[in-house]
Amino acid sequence: MVVPAFRGPDRRLGGKVADIVRDRVAGAFDKHELRVISGGDVDDWLRRSSFEENAQLSEGELKLLAEQFRADERITGTVSRTQGGVNATAALTMIRDLRLSQPFAATAPTADAAADAIARDVIAARKQLVPLRKCENDERANRLREAVADAAAGIAAYGKAVPARLCLLGALVRLGASNDSIISVARAALSVAPSNPIALEDLAQAYDAEGKSADAAPAWVRFLATDSTNEDLLERVVNALSREGKTQEAQPIIDRAVAEHAANLRLLKLEWLVHLANSDWKRAITAGDSLLARDAAAQVDPDMYARLATAYRADSEPERALSVAALGVSKFPKDASVRLAYLQLLESQHQVAVQSALAQFPDNAAMHVFAAGAMKSSGNAAGARTELERALAQNPRLPHGYLQLAQSLIDAGQADSAFDAIALAAKNGEDSTTVAQFALARGNALYKAAGATQKRDDYQRAMRFIAYAEKITPSPEAKFLLGASALAVSQSAATEAPTTKSCDLSKLAASALTDAEINLASGGSVAPDAAKQYLDYVAKLRPYVDSQVKSFCNGAR
């Protein structure tokens, strides 16, 4: 074991605490079990290596020191004076894997007391090392259950054991243990060593496997903080955050990574994807352009062109978007995704051109009709209706113009306005048969819809369309539908009249019943069975309706 001077603002204090810890630990073990390199040997090596007394060594220099003395373990720490005494932190670390580190902390009135406390903790913590070595050996030999038992023995020997718990984690992961078990062990290790990379990685992966993205994301970020310049680790963490939908958290990480590792194309691609996911179009475009210019794989990926074109379009650069999409189509003529992006851009440019034409020719009816068709195709029904109204204002006799307007109004739930548009179609030269068929079809649709709502107003609205069609071009179909609608109105009015003793409703029931009888008889050839059934019901309903009229309209003129 090597114990160099502790780091801190007071070098003499750091050297003193290290000397005390070194001596206490050396005295606690037989030299055949543990040889602690003396302070004199360490100082001699430091002098020969041109270091000052009690030098504060970097990680690289600590590695050289361990190699010089063939050390298996080291104790490093920091120490500083506080208002109440001395504060010291330390770690017992295995040279073979610096992640196998057991932290300690002590605050005491004097340096001697703080050093004694650290030394006592080190001596106690070393009780886990023999079981730890057995666990590692069993794990290498694939004796995983034995490794679990060894690690458990190490934890039993020292309750705060971190390295033993890390070996336990490795065995549990390889055994396919439950995620809850892995999370429990990892959290126990992190409660003692909050920044241990092994525990953080296993914890994050277990949270991922459990679908606990809210817990996994901060664990991945803490894991990255243990080695924030590691390119592979940066890539892993950003990928993990992105999988969990945490691209907002991933964005500053990947931006810094690309800035620090500009030559890494994998990181550049991740930056491109993260900014796309966050709809950060400008930075996505910057990354995408750079990737397309530098990455041979991106240059032969049609999806790259499609997505870059989409980003340009979203960033209000339609010309550049169309240029990128056209380049993609020329390079990959058989790829559907890039062709679709190109067509969508063409359509958006088309809409811009249409608006420009409307502004230039506001009184041209044909231009408004064209714009209405374009807007309808793009799903802008309200805009299409407005343009159609403008076209009809310029030329009321546009072929099928008012019928198209009527259908748009029907689709918008404005049936009464649609009826007015149908009437205007007939007045402005539309073929009467065409108008009648259109009105009858819409009346039939309204009749079926009224069957679902069972509202009298809906049936009367349907009758209005059907009656208009029957008036323009009489037909058995119109008469049958008119009779069926009138029967529904009569039935509704007759059902409601007794609750209010309404004469008006009773009379409505009677007149609608008469209309139903006449029209069902005239149009019965369309559906003889249904007509007979309806007429039978008319006959049964008639006495009931007549009785209501007598009861509720007595003395009424």
Q: Where are the domains of the chain?
A: 1-177, 227-296, 300-360, 475-557
Q: Does pLDDT of 557 surpass 50? A: no
**Distance separating alpha carbons of residues 263 and 29, to the nearest angstrom:** 52
pLDDT exceeds 80 at position 366 = no
541-543-547-550 Cα dihedral, nearest 10 degrees: 110
Question: Helix, strand or coil for residue 472?
Answer: helix
List the structure tokens of 36.
Answer: 């602690």
The rounded distance, in Å, linking the Cα atoms of 162 and 125 is 9
Contacts of residue 160, defined as CB under 8 A and 6 or more positions apart, other chains included, come to 102, 125, 192
* Helix 381-394 × helix 365-377 angle, to 10°: 170
> What integer pLDDT is reported at residue 368 of this predicted model?
66
Average pLDDT estimate for 371-390: 74
pTM over 0.75? The answer is no
Give pLDDT tens digits for 30-55. Answer: 988 999 999 889 888 888 888 877 77
Q: What is the mean pLDDT of residues 494-511?
A: 90
Q: Does the pLDDT of residue 191 top 80, yes or no?
A: yes
Contact 309, 345 (CB under 8 A): yes
Computed over every residue of the chain, the mean pLDDT equals 89
What is the tens place of the pLDDT at every residue in 70-111?
999 999 999 999 988 999 999 999 999 999 999 999 999 999
At residue 173, the pLDDT reads 95
- Could you tell me if 123 and 20 are in contact, meaning their C-beta atoms sit under 8 angstroms apart? no
User: Residue 346: pLDDT above 80?
Assistant: no
- pLDDT over 50 at 425, yes or no: yes
Q: How many residues does the chain have?
A: 557
C-alpha 75/C-alpha 26 separation (Å) is 12
Cα–Cα distances (Å) from 347 to 202, 302, 350, 351, in that order, read: 50, 20, 5, 6
Higher pLDDT, 492 or 378: 492
Grouping H, G, I as helix, E, B as strand and the rest as coil, residue 104 is strand
C-alpha–C-alpha distance, residues 418 and 329, integer Å: 44
Let me know: does 179 contact 206? Beta carbons within 8 Å.
Answer: yes
Residue 351 confidence class, pLDDT cut points 50, 70, 90: low
Strands 101-108 and 85-94 come out as antiparallel
Picking from 292, 276, 363, the residue whose alpha carbon sits closest to that of residue 324 is 292
| CA–CA gap between residue 200 and residue 222 (Å, rounded) | 7
Sorted by sequence, the CB contacts under 8 Å of residue 421 that are 6+ apart come out as 402, 403, 405, 406, 409
Of the listed ranges 363-377, 427-441, 534-548, the one predicted with least confidence: 363-377
pLDDT by residue (tens digit) across 202-246? Answer: 999 999 899 888 888 889 989 988 888 889 889 988 988 888 888
- Helix H or strand E encompassing 101: strand 101-108
Do residues 448 and 477 make contact, with C-beta atoms less than 8 angstroms apart? no
When pLDDT is cut at 50, 70 and 90, the band that residue 190 belongs to is very high
Nearest Cα residue to 507 out of 444, 557, 435: 557
pLDDT at 556 > cutoff 60: no
Quote the strand ranges of 370-515, DSSP E.
none
Q: Which CATH code for domain 1-177? A: 3.40.50
Q: Which of 163, 401, 143, 22 is nearest to 153 (CA)?
A: 163
Res 380 pLDDT > 80: no
Question: CA 384, 385, 386: angle at the middle one, nearest 5?
Answer: 90
Q: Which residues pair with 74 in a beta bridge?
A: 2, 93
Phi-psi region of 107 (alpha: psi -120 to 50; beta: other; left: phi over 0): beta
| Neighbouring C-beta atoms of residue 404, cutoff 10 Å | 22
Closest CA to 446 of 430, 463, 432, 431: 463
* Fold exhibited by the domain 227-296: 1.25.40
Residue 199 to residues 121, 157, 163, 183, 341: CA-CA distances in angstroms? 21, 20, 10, 9, 45
φ, ψ of residue 174 to 5 degrees: the values are: -70, -30
Q: What are phi and psi of 73, to 5 degrees?
A: -135, 160
Q: What is the pLDDT of residue 246?
A: 86
- Sequence-distant (≥ 6) Cβ neighbours of residue 493 within 8 angstroms: 456, 505, 506, 508, 509, 512
The 10s digit of each residue's pLDDT in 10-22 is 999 999 999 999 9
Q: For residue range 144-158, list pLDDT tens digits in order.
A: 999 999 999 999 999
Tokens of 255: 């931006």
User: Residue 206's pLDDT is what?
Assistant: 94
Could you tell me the pLDDT band of residue 182, with boundaries at 50, 70 and 90? very high
pLDDT at 169: 96
